[in-house]
Structure 1
Amino acid sequence: MKDFKSQNPELFDVVFDIDGKKLYAHKYRLSMISSTFNSMLSDRWSFKNEAVSIKDYKFEDFKELLTFIYSGKCSINDINIFTMLDISEFYQTEHLKELCDEYLSKMEFNLSNIFKVLETSNTYSLIKVKKAISSFITPHFTTLIKSNEFLNAKKMVMKEIITFFATKPNKHENLFLSIYEWAENQANLKKQQFSNDETFNMNDAMKAEMQDFLPLIEFKKMGSSFLLNFVVPKSFIFTQDELADIIEYSKSNFKVTITNNLGKSIFGILSTKNNDTIKLIKTINHSKSLNFLDYIVYWNSKRQRPLTPSLLKKSDGVSWYLLYSCQGVIAVKHRFNIDDDDYLLAEMFPETNFEITEKCKIEIE
């Protein structure tokens, strides 16, 4: 490192020219660390006295790269982080790339930078920063999808966000609306570009933008009223068969949502095969629960339980169930509190960590 700091031309066998400034280094050291340098220097080594011109990076950034190669350390900050990441990728210095990944993972995220960081994490296949991004966007989902940055996000970034939230069972309604708004904005931008094109069709443009995302959306995790009021009217984005399936499903399934005092909710889907149960829940729609324990909540809805055994069984990974308790009342129980005599009606999926609180509200749509 002392030799590199000296920049004494007599001590080195390769020189770089960046914007008229010189940096000296050792061919062997660079070639051992970077396959890019190895190729670059081998190809032109017959021109021993000629400086290697660096045109894609600024002097200070390239100097940081060489400093890292000689010392294992360099200065990374919010200003140069994206350049240093790009330079580490180009010159195949994996450890420097890992340091950049670490730095980005500890950056303070906000709506102004999260989309750029997300795009960067995809471009350079970063691991640590993706985990940090997931931790940020989960609690900021609602704000995120309503931002101008979201509406103007690149398609690659959109797909990353949607793929992540598609794993959240009760996000699909909001996801559909946000994708639709994003596609509408993208189509409007294209319409401006092709303002003189009389054949431009807004619906076709929106459909093209949405096609990659629709397979990620589970319409069977949406309420029937939402499907009929918000999805079906946008029929132009679906094939006839897809639309027919959505309409058929909306007529034969209802979404039940339980919301606690903290505003956190779980939801499940009831088929019209449980029509008597659906009617019963509608009679207590928006009612608050009468009693609760840590893992059980139920409503004053006693009725005769179905005589035939429930076809629904407890599944791994599902924590909450809507059911008729052994006393014949509508209840929600954690899987560990379910009795053999309880009649399971629906699996219930949480948005985040759900807990039973006093006076939970039940709704059906």
Structure 2
Amino acid sequence: MGRKRQDTRVAVVTGASAGVGRATAQLLARRGIAIALLARGRTGLDAVADEVRAAGSRALPVETDMADYEQVVAAGQRINAELGPIDLWINDAFSSVFAPFQEIRPEEFRRTTEVSYLGYVHGTRVALSHMTPRDRGTIVQVGSALAYRGIPLQTAYCGAKHAVVGFTESLRCELLHDKSNVKVTMVHLPAVNTPQFDWLLSRLPRHAQPVPPIYDPIVAARAIVAAADRPGRREYWVGAPTALTILANRLVPGLLDRYLARTGYNSQQTPQPADPNRPSNLWRPADGPDGPDFGTRGDFTNRSHGHSSQAWLSRHRLVTAAGLTGAAVGVLAWRRH
């Protein structure tokens, strides 16, 4: 698995109607890549398709419920027929419930798992069905720091993200065994300012928010596109909070348990009371034919970071290593004199 940049002509982005998926589609469109946009919400899909076309690329919006395997198969067939062979598939679609575990109904937990975990499985299976015969292609699984560290009020989401990691690690071993040239990598994100906090089902007394520090979706999109260019690495960590969370969980998981038990409820809620009439996209899209376009960003733009030094360093490890080596050599030379 080398570091050569991948040549992409046709890309698929799931969860493309808003948030990180939409920001990623916008970034890919600037390269002239034909993009298939998969999501359930017609309003959001039409809007991002217009953005892709305005950037000079072809767009194919396809209403798709990633929890329904047959719908994903049909989407793959349509993409291949209308845009051409699939080079890149980015799995990003998800849904969830903000609530303590005992307040989540079994059918809601199942639905979250079907979208946020099995949706990745379905997308990966369909991507491989198109890539394996050509022995080329890249699959990017958009993950989270919560794929390694569960937090309160997000049991369904954390469980799904953990499952995606296990599934992807197993699949990677199989591809290596088969000496396949299809690559699979993961990009683990920090808290991002997306519309999910306006449309996920919530039983919290106050308005849900991402755990600070919060990043702009463009930070995530840059990392995803970079991973697609160079999928030889197993995974990318985006943002210092992601790196610190994953490393701390490896070293002191019990300490994190107690810390999150104290802080995890308040840090995921604003002071404002929850709107009892807010939409929920668990069972149907909030941006359906009669719904609004939620766009790329959520309500926390004034608190969001538009850059991550850690993410840049993660993408440029050779430059970072060279710089550190040079600094070390300089210090040694200075001390000798």
Q: Normalising by structure 2, report the TM-score.
A: 0.28
Q: Which structure has the larger Rg over C-alpha atoms?
A: 1
Higher relative contact order (Cα pairs below 8 Å, separated by 6+ residues):
2
